[in-house]
Amino acid sequence: LYNNQPKYSFNELFPLLSYSKQAYLRKCVDDIIENQLNYRILYETDNASDLKELVLQGLGIAWLPKLLVEKEIAENKLKIVEPINFHTYQDVYIIRRKIVLSKRINYIWDFLTLQEFK
């Protein structure tokens, strides 16, 4: 951030800090930005934490999981770049069989189903 404004903009060519082609999140990001934005890939990795560190250094724009950057956004170290049509969301589903043969599986299931997820 410079003067509380993002260093890069979607309105001009920007450096993209990207997930590698084998990373699941790459497809999620590609689906919303390919043929929509003017970028050059500066760096690729499988790890969102690595991308976050590079963004904090001011090297480019990356699509990062919200839970990973909530603290930095609250501290005004990172900013969400608008417009919202370039945001993406994911649902996570956890499924199990009715017949459970392991106490450990029941423990994990009970833990997960009793949590409040945002």
- Give the per-residue SS3 of the chain: CECCECCCCCCCCEEEEEECCCCHHHHHHHHHHCCCCCEEEEEEECCHHHHHHHHHCCCCECCCCHHHHHHHHHCCCCCCCCCHHHCCCCCCCCCCCCCCCCHHHHHHHHHHHHCCCC
Task: Give the per-residue pLDDT at 118.
Answer: 47
* Among 3, 2, 6, 22, residue whose Cα is nearest residue 80: 6
Measured CA to CA in angstroms, residue 64 lies from 34, 83, 87, 94 at distances of 17, 15, 10, 22
Rg of the chain on CA atoms, in Å:
18
C-beta atoms surrounding 32 within 10 Å: 13
Rounded to two decimals, the pTM is 0.74
Residue 116 pLDDT: 59
pLDDT tens for the chain, 118 residues: list them: 556 778 888 889 999 999 999 998 999 999 989 889 999 999 999 999 999 999 999 999 999 998 999 999 999 999 888 777 888 887 777 787 888 778 888 888 888 887 655 4
pLDDT of residue 39: 95
Residue 54 carries which side chain, given as an amino acid letter? L
